Amino acid sequence: MTNNHNNTKRVLIVAVDFKPLQGGISEFSYQMAHGFMNLGAKVLVLSPYYSGIETHDDRLSMQIKRTWPPFASGRGLGIMPKIKRIGSLAGLTAEMLKTRKAFKPHIIYFSSMFPLAAFSYSEGNIVTTFHGRELSFYCRNAWLAGMNKRILQRSCHNSALILANSNYTKNLLIELGIDDLKIFVTGCGVDLGRFSNIPATENAKKKLGLSGKKVIFSLGRLDDRKGFDSVIRCIPRIREKFSDIVYVIAGKGSQKAELESLIARLDLQNYVRLAGPISDEAVIDYMAACDIFAMPNKETADWSVEGFGIVLLEANCCGKPVVAGRSGGVTDAVEHNKTGILVDPYNLKDIEAALVKLLEKPELAAKLGRQGRQRAEKHFKWTTVAEKTCREILKLAE
């Protein structure tokens, strides 16, 4: 694509989640912005103000406009934070309408759906992204689920192209009556450069005080759908075979107190560690140190589900095998018996058997980790995923 003024495509990205906010959707939004830029498009990102962005945006090589009021992130919010969130979305919508007139975009790209695409009308081509949870949770179980479903359908009606992060998400859209001919499955990606210099396993274990241990590692928000409690419940039987086992869980979330109580009840204080939130550098260290990465994710009673599971690819990038739940979009992220083992997330014996198998057969664990790295390099580089998707979107403006 040429870069002269007449041919340059203008893309307005409206992102509720954007860096420095952590999470898969934030990373997806950020990588898509780079994908458009790499193809020669002029990009303007609209995203709410978040605490701590004062120096962040100045370091990015893209134009970002922050909107007011700030956005209240997180789940399980009380009434006032929810009201503030609605106010933030209203401010973002107002700024989008104002900016659209001045910027005159060829593409208006919503990196997540709720609720903005429903209130935008095309003076340019609207593209909307779905990540899974908004379909399973908000349209089935949440308060005002019927209204949320109508917002979803209106968003899809307004959109020239609909992006789904996995085949699971695509199938949910079709179940909700969305035309499959408008849906493009993007997949997700990993930043391979971040995982280009992985410490040796024993060196990482020594650094973290885990020398001589067999290590299972989990990373993510502490909530029910991740299945971390299921791994904890497996540890008493696993330690009968491996007395040197240690299970480390990194992250924060609403389930912390419940996990602490479970650890105490099972007398596993010497075998299970809650590391809390950790830095990007520490993520690499723990990934390098672990023998297995575990996330036996499941669909919960309130329909919360894992839309893809980027962290599983990240573990593979570090040469580690994964044990993951056969649920949601994770079946796109993990190739069973090739890059990890998919388990029944509701069956503790199935989870335990997978973990024990990989601990007993380190050569198999190494093989799955190696194949996972190769698969990520071939199919899941962010530059590949984002540019493939952005090319498809830019066809709308030809």
Domains 10-189+381-397 and 193-379 share a fold: yes
Using CA atoms, how far apart are residues 217 and 350, in angstroms rounded to an integer? 18
Q: Which residues pair with 217 in a beta bridge?
A: 248, 293
Q: What is the pLDDT of residue 1?
A: 40
> Do the Cβ atoms of 74 and 98 come closer than 8 Å?
no
Q: What is the pLDDT of residue 5?
A: 46
The separation between CA 288 and the C-alpha centre of its own chain, rounded to angstroms, equals 20
Instruction: Give domain limits for the chain.
Output: 10-189+381-397, 193-379
Q: What is the pLDDT of residue 188?
A: 93
CB neighbours (10 Å) of residue 41? 22
State how beta strands 245-250 and 272-276 pair.
parallel
Q: What is the pLDDT of residue 260?
A: 98
pTM (two decimals) = 0.84
Q: Which residues of the chain have pLDDT under 70?
A: 1-6, 52, 54, 72-78, 80-81, 113-115, 119-124, 137-144
User: 10-189+381-397: which CATH topology?
Assistant: Rossmann fold (3.40.50)
Phi, psi of 91 (to 5 degrees): -65, -40
Three-state secondary-structure class, residue 219: strand
Task: Find tokens 């479903």 and name the residue.
Answer: 149
Q: What is the pLDDT of residue 2?
A: 39
> What are the pLDDT digits (tens) for 280-337?
899 999 999 999 999 999 988 777 788 899 999 999 999 999 999 999 999 999 999 9
Q: How far is CA 367 from CA 120, 276, 320, 341, 378, in A?
A: 49, 30, 9, 12, 17
Task: Find tokens 């893209």 and name the residue.
Answer: 62
Using CA atoms, how far apart are residues 173 and 42, in angstroms rounded to an integer? 30
Strands (E), 122-213: 125-130, 161-164, 183-185
Q: What is the pLDDT of residue 392?
A: 97
User: What is the CATH number that goes with domain 193-379?
Assistant: 3.40.50.2000
